[in-house]
Structure 1
């Protein structure tokens, strides 16, 4: 269908961590992105051009990832960037790219207002996901006092700030601790006597760190009396922790694959594309799948991948039609429903839809 000329292709960089605590997510994300690319290429590609995908390891230090992305973008052959990675990596990459190509960030973010033009946030702002999920737990479970454990970078700290701002009494955050990515021992947090004054724990960590924490938390016996909430858990994290560690764990996300005709059809296409031994199509990998389709829908609607043109079109909001949970953009933020689920072994039981913005 497509020729071999470079003019007939568009290079997309996908940043996913292949090392570090986020590394357990990478196989699912890479497989889901591959499905989305093949679906788009089976038609007319993006703006009539065939997608060529390059995967970049986003598990390295942010400045290392940014340096590699900057060098690739400087060739003039990169059309867009996407992927699942930390906000620390996103901030470094966005500065290095300097608005030369659109950059669809496919996971939750911290809701800062100083993103560079062209950085499009596909995941959720904490005010529209973590905060309403915590409010639901207050209404339904009587949760008032919180303990927070997070990795030590911008997204956990800003999300904790959003929760504190939403509480009637900011002192209802009893314990707040941040640990490096890759932490394996959470004894300091779990042995803190103040933890017993909290009603619930908010977990703001990445991948394997969350799984390790949940195993250690379960060993204390606390899950029976103290629920946990996280906006950053997928089926890979549940599987890594083990069913016994997921008791009383609540998860907020925009990317659960419901047991609906569309969800079942997507699972079927994924299995047909990747084979029976493929990594699971998870909450996180579904976000990367949707980001690629959202990029295609955006390009088709606007007619270009030129960042100034896209920014102007998005300024007043832009509804989009596409095979995703994202309904369009309000400014640089994709909009669509977020849901709250409870872990059920190594899967999710969706409880409710969180209030729309």
Structure 2
């Protein structure tokens, strides 16, 4: 594994897994641009462990097996120092098996918080207990939401998130409707026409990318947007824009990675992004900001520990290391990065941050 003593002339190869196809493909341009900014900022300084980053992007929108096979091929060269990116948990699980703890793997997407992650998998996105569950509690307290309907894609993250929510609700019966659909679903009539939906006060959306945008358009067209609130931990500005401002009424989103224009840090980051990418660049969104943060967190972690060796990193994390990220300090609970999470309400194709979640 690379250490601080390596020569500056050498580079560190980092794999960035971002979907360029499928329903999550709409976030790829933003994520790629944000990662590029982070890499240039790091390389303009001391790099990682005194070495320049060289970035290779892998399409995470394919089947988990296909993505894992490509990662395995890169790892076989012995040149890969770390992995990061935004992609589904199904892809993460397959890639983590292929990596087998050989390099650190900073996963920049919300996750389900399972206890059996492979060594070296560091979860930068949020656990549902730190994000979705407190957001649900806020809607109960502030809006009187008691009963929930759930629509999600059919893979590990949505199902495990609902398990976490069911444990936290006053009664499991508070989930009155629950449906899981394949990635890439275009027709949500079976859910929208369900009589059980009318018993709900709000809908929890656990869909990915373009699937969420399509659902929100159909939900609004069915006349439901004014009848019940919606909550999602997986919506960014690209999803809002794809759905259209008229489809985002009464939509709440929980995230740790909003780029807040009302703060000096948020304004400065957007300004740096525009200078780096140009005025016509894809938006700097909550999803792309999480990949930007993950790249900087990797640098801070490596420089704090002095190596990218996974056992050494794991030992430091268990001792309670706290890292200074670009916008906030992040500690770790095991392999889970912990920082502040916020609740926002969609305002057209933007977000209005309304609360810091406990």
Q: TM-score, normalised by structure 2?
A: 0.97
1:287 aligned onto 2:317: no
Partner of 1:194: 196
Shift of 1:327: 1.6
1:182-222 residue CA offsets vs partner (Å, 9 max, x unmatched) = 00000000000110000000000100000000000000111
Report whether the alignment pairs 1:248 with 2:250: yes
**Pairing 1:56-135 to 2, within 5 Å after superposition:** 56-135=58-137
Q: Which runs of 4+ in 1 moved over 3 A?
A: none
Q: Deviations over 1:5-55 (max 9, x none)?
A: 896100000000000000000000000000000000001100011000000
Counterpart in 1 of 2:315?
Answer: 312
3-state SS, counterpart of residue 324 of structure 2: coil
1:268 aligns with 2:271: yes
Question: Alpha-carbon deviations, 1:193-252, whole Å to 9, x = none?
Answer: 110000000000100000000000000111112000000000000000000000000000
Deviation readout 1:287-330 (Å, 9 max, x if unpaired): 00000000000000000000000011111321112313352322
CA contact (8 A) 2:104 2:122 kept: yes
The structure 2 residue matched to 1:179, chosen from 174, 178, 181, is 181
> What is the number of residues matched between the two proteins?
351
- The superposition leaves residues 84-127 of structure 1 with CA deviations (integer Å, 9 ceiling, x where unpaired) of 00000000000000000000000100010000110000010000
SS at match of 1:281: coil
Report the secondary structure of 1:12's partner residue. Answer: strand
Counterparts in 2 of 1:4-15, with a 5 A limit?
8-15=10-17
2:314 matched to 1:299? Answer: no
TM-score between both structures, scaled by the size of structure 1 = 0.97
Does the CA contact (< 8 Å) of 1:293 and 1:324 recur in 2? no
Tell me, in whole angstroms, the C-alpha distance in 1 between the residues paired with 2:304 and 2:313.
Answer: 10
Q: For 1:164 and 1:42, how far apart are their aligned partners in 2? A: 47
SS of equivalent residue, structure 1 residue 25: helix
- Give 1:346's match in structure 2, choosing from 341, 345, 349: 349
Q: CA deviation at 1:335?
A: 1.1
Q: Is the 8 A contact 2:293 2:325 kept in 1?
A: no
1:129-208 correspondence to structure 2 within 5 Å: 129-208=131-210
SS of the residue aligned with 2:141?
helix
3-state SS of 1:143 partner = coil
Matches of 2:113 and 2:329, distance apart in 1? 17
Counterparts of 2:271 and 2:143, CA distance in 1:
36
Report matched runs for 1:34-49 at 5 Å: 34-49=36-51
RMSD: 1.0
Contact 2:8–2:51 at 8 Å: present in 1 too?
Answer: no
Is the Cα contact below 8 Å between 1:294 and 1:326 reproduced in 2?
no
Cα distance in 2 between the residues matched to 1:21 and 1:199: 27
Q: Give the deviation of 1:129 after TM superposition.
A: 0.2
The alpha carbon displacement at 1:176 in A equals 0.4
For 1:151 and 1:322, locate their aligned partners in 2 and report how far apart those are by CA, in whole Å.
Answer: 31
CA distance in 1, matches of 2:113, 2:83: 19
